[in-house]
Amino acid sequence: MVRMPARETASGLRAVARCDDLGVAPYSDADDHLFRPYLGAGHAATLDRIAAWMTEAGMTARVDAAGNIVGRYEGRHPDAPALLIGSHVDSVRDGGRYDGMLGVMLGIETVAWFAERGHRFPFAIEVIGFGDEEGSRFPVSMLTSRAVAGVLGDQDLALADAAGVGLAEALDGFGLELARFVDAARHREDVLAYVEAHIEQGPVLEAEGHALGVVSAIAAQYRFRAVVTGVAGHAGTMAMHLRRDALAAAAEMVLAVERIGGMGPEDLVATVGRMEVGPGVPNVVPGAVTFSIDVRAGVGAVRDRAADEIRVALADIAARRTVGLDLTLQQDLPATPCDSVLSRLMAEAVQDVTGAEPRILVSGAGHDAMVMARLAPVAMLFLRCRGGVSHHPAEAVEVDDVQTALEAMTAFVTRFEHTWSDAGTVLTEEEK
Tell me if 90 is assigned to a ligand binding site: no
pLDDT per residue as tens digits for the range 101-129: 999 999 999 999 999 999 999 999 999 99
Instruction: Flag whether pLDDT at 383 surpasses 60.
Output: yes
Q: Exposure pattern of 335-354 as b/e (b: 16+ CB <10 Å)?
A: bbbbbebbbebbbebbbebb
Quote the pTM value: 0.85
Query: d(Cα 279, Cα 245) in Å, to the nearest integer?
Result: 12
Predicted local distance difference test score (pLDDT) of residue 140: 85
Tell me if 283 is assigned to a ligand binding site: yes
Instruction: Flag whether pLDDT at 422 surpasses 50.
Output: no
Tell me if 99 is assigned to a ligand binding site: yes
Kindly list the structural domains of the chain, giving each domain's residue range(s) and its CATH number in brackets, ordered by start. 12-218+336-418 (3.40.630.10), 220-333 (3.30.70.360)
The neighbour count for residue 173, using CB atoms within 10 Å, is 12
DSSP symbols for 247-301: HHHHHHHHHHHHHHHTTS-TT-EEE---EEEES--TTEE--EEEEEEEEEESSHH
pLDDT per residue as tens digits for the range 263-287: 999 889 999 999 999 999 999 999 9
Instruction: Flag whether pLDDT at 339 surpasses 60.
Output: yes
Residue 31's pLDDT band (cuts 50, 70, 90): very high
Instruction: Flag whether pLDDT at 252 surpasses 60.
Output: yes
Tell me if 68 is assigned to a ligand binding site: no
Query: d(Cα 85, Cα 105) in Å, to the nearest integer?
Result: 10
Query: d(Cα 389, Cα 134) in Å, to the nearest integer?
Result: 16
233-234/69-73 β-pairing: unpaired
Predicted local distance difference test score (pLDDT) of residue 110: 98
Tell me if 391 is assigned to a ligand binding site: yes
Nearest to 191 by CA among 233, 149, 158: 149
Tell me if 109 is assigned to a ligand binding site: no
The neighbour count for residue 96, using CB atoms within 10 Å, is 25
Predicted local distance difference test score (pLDDT) of residue 428: 47
Nearest to 66 by CA among 83, 82, 84, 88: 88
Query: What is the pLDDT averaged over residues 331-340?
Result: 90
User: Do residues 276 and 291 lie in contact, with contact meaning Cβ atoms separated by under 8 Å?
Assistant: yes
Q: Which residues contact 238 (CB under 8 A, 6 or more apart)?
A: 285
As to burial, measured by CB atoms within 10 angstroms (0-12 exposed, 13-18 middle, 19+ buried), residue 429 is exposed
pLDDT per residue as tens digits for the range 60-100: 999 999 999 999 999 999 899 999 999 999 999 999 999 99
Residue 421's pLDDT band (cuts 50, 70, 90): low
Predicted local distance difference test score (pLDDT) of residue 261: 98
The neighbour count for residue 279, using CB atoms within 10 Å, is 10
Instruction: Flag whether pLDDT at 139 surpasses 90.
Output: no
Tell me if 296 is assigned to a ligand binding site: yes
Predicted local distance difference test score (pLDDT) of residue 1: 60
Query: d(Cα 23, Cα 88) in Å, to the nearest integer?
Result: 14
pLDDT per residue as tens digits for the range 300-314: 999 999 999 999 999
Q: For the range 315-319, what are the long-range contacts, defined as Cβ-Cβ under 8 Å and sequence gap of 24 or more?
A: 317/249, 317/252, 317/253, 317/256, 318/228, 318/249, 318/253
How many angstroms from the chain centroid is the CA of residue 358?
22
Predicted local distance difference test score (pLDDT) of residue 330: 84
Query: d(Cα 110, Cα 86) in Å, to the nearest integer?
Result: 11
CA atoms within 13 A of residue 307's CA, in its CB half-sphere:
24
As a whole-number percent, the residues of the chain with pLDDT over 70 amount to: 95
Rounded to 10 degrees, the C-alpha dihedral 23/25/31/35 comes to -50
Query: What is the pLDDT averaged over residues 205-227?
Result: 95
Residue 425's pLDDT band (cuts 50, 70, 90): low
Query: What is the pLDDT averaged over residues 231-246?
Result: 97
Q: Which of 204-208, 289-293, 396-400, 418-422 has the lowest mean pLDDT?
A: 418-422
pLDDT per residue as tens digits for the range 155-213: 999 999 989 999 999 999 999 999 999 999 999 999 999 999 999 999 999 999 999 99
Tell me if 418 is assigned to a ligand binding site: no
Residue 429's pLDDT band (cuts 50, 70, 90): very low
Predicted local distance difference test score (pLDDT) of residue 365: 86
What does the mean pLDDT of the chain come to? Answer: 94
